[in-house]
Amino acid sequence: MATLPQARLRALSFWQKMAIGLSAFILFAFAQFGLRGFVDYAHAPLVMHLHGMAMVAWLGLLTTQSLLAGRSGPSSGGLALHRRLGWASAVMVPTMVVLASALCLTALKLHMFPPFFTPAYFLALVHVEAAFFALLVCMAVSRRGQSDWHKRLMIGSTIILMEPALGRLLPMPLIVPWGEWVSMVIQLGVVLLIVRRDRREFGHTHPATMAVAMVVMLSHVIVELLAVTPWWIALATRMAA
């Protein structure tokens, strides 16, 4: 006989499991990094704490929204609440982008970024990821009336957020300069889970899933290109001065 937790897990949809699993993975990656003593929270700048709180709030909203979307019965009111809460993203997404940028610039000035990253690479990494995260969320909101597009794009935006989490789990000092590509392969592995779901549901890969895969690959390529572009290197050097 199945236990109550097992029964509840089976009752979750694929998309609910993806939202919960990715959120738990990201939170675990940051939590273990801090518990291992790699972050001095007592002397961390205020923007780091604000950024962390915004990230946790966003993952909480994502998980809540996925659970509410599953309660779409006529008497549950879950979908209506899901739509009302969805407008919180109009405030949260720009706030997260601004905080990510502010944290990056502060870290550059205080030389708090990983020593195996160049200033140009770190500047590109944070801003490119923030931009593509916001892009996918905006695309998802614009497609909120098409649930097949909306949920794939929202999960895709969370796959983008996996990169900084992977940076805290993978042995980055040992795999430089391949760390960027290792992270990309892992993220694309998660996209393949959606591809498998698409093929079961539609018999082919959904266009939204292909868009997510392209964004994941493009984000890593742009980061690598910017990191070796002279004008970007000069910009990062000035910011780190």
Helix (H, G, I), strand (E, B) or coil at 146: coil
pLDDT value of position 177? 85
> Residues near 66 by Cβ (< 8 Å), separated by ≥ 6?
15, 16, 18, 19, 20, 151
Both tokens of 155, joined, read 């999960």
CB 24 within 8 A of CB 56: no
Q: What pTM, to 2 d.p., does this model score?
A: 0.90
Question: What element of type H or E holds 66?
Answer: helix 46-70
Residue identified by tokens 């949809």 is 13
**pLDDT digit string (tens) for the chain, length 241 residues:** 455 455 555 678 999 999 999 999 999 999 999 888 888 888 889 999 999 999 999 999 999 888 887 665 544 556 667 677 777 777 899 999 999 999 999 999 998 888 889 999 999 999 999 999 999 999 999 998 898 999 999 999 999 999 999 999 999 888 888 999 999 999 999 999 999 999 999 999 999 999 999 999 999 999 999 999 999 999 999 998 8
Task: Please tell me the predicted confidence (pLDDT) of residue 173.
Answer: 87
